[in-house]
Amino acid sequence: MWKGVLIAAFILFTGGIGFAQDAGQIPIPTIAFDIQPAQSPQEVATSLQVLFLITIISLAPTLLILLTSFIRIYIVLSFVSRGLATQTIPPNQVIVGLALFISLFTMYPVFSKSYDQGIKPYLDGKISLDAGYSKAVEPIREFMFHVTAPKYIFRFVQLAGVERPATPADVPTHVLIPAFILNELTISFYMGMLLLIPFTVIDIVVASTLMSMGMMMLPPIMISFPLKILLFVVVDGWNLLVEKLVLSFRL
């Protein structure tokens, strides 16, 4: 029996060596990069356009966060989660995912208009890159103008040192974007503060009641936490919250 096992092992070992020797003779392919000078200005322009598109794609997550309704929605949802004192329920990934999909829902008309006016005609070769960019950015600028308070736009116009614009079209995009972000941060914190008021009242009432009853050793959070959840569920909090957030961006 042992002789048979040894013979089989010897055959497998020698066969593996032979296979390895044969495999070593197989040529390994190499990858070469060749850089050649452009033959015409059109090739240079095409290369720059490809580089520009790659840059835009790499910045897409940042643009999606800063130039859409994501800022307001995520901060308000985070305030609600903190007010409920649920710690990690729901997890932060759920909050981010919900904010992302609500943002896509609210921004769908803007993105559709941007694609139809600028991106699609450019891909079809009907307009140039500059014209496609201008037409694609126009709906996004209209959205930011709609939700941004004029005082923030004027503040950044003064900080930029540019001439006071006569029409919204005269406002540079690099001035409009920070004004929009500052406006979203201000509104989201204001909405979050209003949402925290009822939760704070519950905490104060529960703490005062426990102290008046002499139950100072009982943590108020043990009583206020289920009351907050009950109040939020009874008023259909998630539905109302999402509805108000979506309506706050209606054009």
Residue 19 has pLDDT above 50, yes or no: no
Residue 26 has pLDDT above 60, yes or no: no
Q: How far is CA 92 from CA 79, 96, 154, 184, in A?
A: 12, 6, 35, 20
Range name among 22-36, 189-203, 209-223 with the lowest pLDDT average: 22-36
Q: pLDDT value at position 27?
A: 59
Establish if 167 belongs to a structural domain.
Answer: yes
Establish if 33 belongs to a structural domain.
Answer: no
What confidence tier does 22 reach under pLDDT thresholds 50, 70, 90?
A: very low
Which of 36-40, 54-58, 222-226, 242-246 has the highest average model confidence (pLDDT)? 242-246
Q: pLDDT value at position 45?
A: 57
107, 143 in Cβ contact below 8 A? yes
Q: pLDDT value at position 109?
A: 92
Number of domains in the chain: 1
Q: pLDDT value at position 53?
A: 72
Establish if 36 belongs to a structural domain.
Answer: no
Q: pLDDT value at position 87?
A: 76
Residue 185 has pLDDT above 90, yes or no: yes
Q: What is the pLDDT of residues 137-154, one digit of tens each?
A: 899 999 999 999 999 999
What confidence tier does 180 reach under pLDDT thresholds 50, 70, 90?
A: very high
Q: pLDDT value at position 215?
A: 80
Establish if 21 belongs to a structural domain.
Answer: no
What confidence tier does 217 reach under pLDDT thresholds 50, 70, 90?
A: confident
Q: How far is CA 128 from CA 122, 136, 172, in A?
A: 6, 12, 21
Establish if 141 belongs to a structural domain.
Answer: yes
Establish if 58 belongs to a structural domain.
Answer: no
What confidence tier does 48 reach under pLDDT thresholds 50, 70, 90?
A: low
Domain that holds residue 171: 69-247
Computed over every residue of the chain, the mean pLDDT equals 80
Contacts of residue 174, defined as CB under 8 A and 6 or more positions apart, other chains included, come to 160
Q: What is the pLDDT of residues 82-92, one digit of tens each?
A: 888 887 788 88
Q: Is 236 exposed, middle or buried (0-12, 13-18, 19+ CB in 10 A)?
A: exposed
The pTM score is 0.75
Percent of the chain topping pLDDT 70: 80
Token output for 242: 């999402």
Residue 84's closest CA among 218, 195, 245?
A: 195
